[in-house]
Amino acid sequence: MKSKFLKYKADKVELWLFVSMLLVAAMIILGGATRLTNSGLSITEWAPIKGILPPLNNQSWVSEFEKYKLIPEFLAEHSDMDLSGFKTIYFWEWSHRQLGRIIGLVYAIPLIIFIISKKIQKEKIFNFVGVLLLICMQGIIGWWMVSSGLENDRIDVSQYRLATHLGVAFIILACLFWLWKNQKERWPEISKKNSLTRYTKILTLLVYLQIILGAFVAGLKAGRTYNTWPLMDGDFVPRGYMRLDPYWKNIFENISAVQFNHRTLAYIIVLLTIWVFIISKNNKKVRRALIGFKLLLLVQVSLGVFVILTVDVLWLALVHQFSAIILWLSIVNITRLARIK
């Protein structure tokens, strides 16, 4: 007798959404690797068509390297780099941009075909097209972010623009996941709002905010300071937490405050998760999903601690980012389950 799994057959739209979702997840990880290897500014021009191909001969490589030598980052961090080293960091950024192009094509071309062939219901087309617009906008945001590191004597991209870029990526991922689940389950009926949906939304918002705070930690390289836990160099609240004026700047530009806020919000999320689990006793699906989420949350917090203690080791930081993706999809799934009848 065949198992239920073997009997199940995904339709083309469902498969397309799943592949798109995997590609976006891969894009987030590759973006993290590009940032952590200090490769994001290696390509100093935005060439959507010409940039498809990398330099194809030594002269072209030398030309690209000379362009890179003109930006402040080279003198500040890579002044001893040779052409071979430049090719390595160029590869990371070029691969990141290539994957972005692939995602655009993989999503846009089947979408047009499915709309024409009426595989997507007319009243749901806007949902799918909205994701395409987000993907296109993300490409523009990506260059907007990179360009911030090429001007005003900066040696890194703006943490504000990095957070925007990462935030939009996670929104795209959530939209694709939601559409994929709806397509897989044949668009189930949505229930009325209740206290559980409100709390799951708050929990989802806090997880998203934590991801954004993580982008600020990354943008300011705050993970390479205060490499102790649970205290921050002997203090619960680090010295100089509110040293910037006006005070709101500390949230986004003060390394001490940014890392402290990231740590503290993790503890708040843990406590809220326990509360949501308690009040979800009448919803078995949500309760089961929350058990998985709590385990993932424990893993994610532990990874965050190890990243701090090991001073931002590349492979561990990437595992932490991958875990954030799984955690994000888990809480999006819980929010969705809370709304389904």
pLDDT the model gives residue 191: 76
Per-residue DSSP letter, 9? -
Q: Are residues 278 and 324 in the same domain?
A: yes
According to the model, what pLDDT value does residue 9 have? 57
**How far apart are alpha carbons 39 and 55 in whole angstroms?**
16
Q: Could you tell me the pTM of the whole model? A: 0.93
Alpha helices in the chain (DSSP H): 4-7, 12-36, 58-69, 72-77, 83-116, 125-148, 159-184, 195-219, 249-253, 255-279, 284-309, 314-339
- Mean per-residue pLDDT over the chain, rounded: 92
pLDDT tens-digit readout, 232-277: 989 999 988 999 989 899 999 999 999 999 999 999 999 999 999 9
Measured CA angle at 236 (ends 234, 237), to 5 deg: 110
- SS3 string, 214-255, reads HHHHHHCCHHHCCCCCCCECCECCCCCCCCCCCCCHHHHHCH
Amino acid identity, residue 66?
E
Q: Is the pLDDT of residue 2 over 80?
A: no
Q: Single out the residue in 142, 159, 187 at which a domain terminates.
A: 187
Cis preceding linkage at 238, omega within 30: no
Same domain, residue pair 333 and 249: yes
Domain shared by 240 and 323, yes or no: yes
206 and 294 share a domain? yes
Q: For residue range 63-116, list pLDDT tens digits in order.
A: 999 999 999 899 888 888 999 999 999 999 999 999 999 999 999 999 999 999
Q: Are 84 and 139 within one domain?
A: yes
227 is written with which tokens? 């490499």
pLDDT tier at 293 (50, 70, 90 boundaries)? very high
Tell me, yes or no, whether 2 lies in a domain: no
Domain that holds residue 292: 190-341
> Are residues 149 and 290 located together in one domain of the fold?
no
Residue type, 106: V
